Amino acid sequence: MSLTSRTAGAALAVAVPFALASVPADAVPVPDPDPFVWTDLTPTYTATADYQYEPFAVTDGYTRADTCDRTSQGGAGYQYVKAAGLGSLDPAEPAGLLYETDAGGGRALVGVEWIVRADSGGTPPTLFGQSFQGPMTVPGVKGPVYTLRAWIWKENPSGLFALWNPTVACS
């Protein structure tokens, strides 16, 4: 190894920690809890791929949402719910689809959501090693529910299973 190569390597080894230290904490994405979770989500991708075209979701029984859910922490977008999917913990059968307004004024699929009714005194279910969040309310569903959102069609800087996505756009 030449002296130039060793000098360059040493300089890089010293510079990297300083470069990483200068990145703001909120700019660093939250890592996924398990690298194999993407494999577990394969059936979800397969089952929801056609719903990237929003009219297919409506035709298949998802109730179209008229309001976009947005908070100071981010958004969930337009929540579409399929009553037949409520309570399902099957990766291929999410009860909810999450859409945002796209550049053309239409709706783009950004995530999916599993929705389970919250029994009084019950504990939240888990899926993909994640606990459901709630209880909360979801438009079109009566009573409190637990939900688990997966941002599989649009990256979420807050994390794959975060409740809100700060990059979701509402019209």
Look over the chain and give the mean of its residue pLDDT values, rounded to a whole number: 83
| pLDDT reported for residue 72 | 76
Q: Is the pLDDT of residue 145 over 60?
A: yes
Q: Is the pLDDT of residue 129 over 70?
A: yes
Please tell me the pTM assigned to this model. Answer: 0.79
Residue 36 banded pLDDT, cuts 50, 70, 90: confident
The predicted-structure confidence for 73-119, as pLDDT tens digits, reads as follows 889 999 999 999 999 999 999 999 999 999 898 999 999 999 999 98
Q: How many residues does the chain have?
A: 171
| pLDDT reported for residue 15 | 41
- DSSP codes, 30-50: PPPS-TTHHHHTHHHHHHHGG
- DSSP codes, 113-144: EEEEE--TTPPPPEETTEE-EEEE--TT--S-
The number of CA neighbours under 13 Å toward the Cβ of 164 is 10
Q: Is the pLDDT of residue 48 over 90?
A: yes
Q: Is the pLDDT of residue 120 over 90?
A: no
Q: How many other CB atoms sit within 10 Å of the CB of residue 123?
A: 10
Cis peptide bond upstream of 135, omega within 30:
yes
Q: What is the dihedral of CA 85, 67, 45, 154, to 10 degrees?
A: -150
| pLDDT reported for residue 107 | 94
Residue 171 banded pLDDT, cuts 50, 70, 90: confident
% of the chain with per-residue pLDDT over 90: 61
| pLDDT reported for residue 3 | 45
Residue 21 banded pLDDT, cuts 50, 70, 90: very low
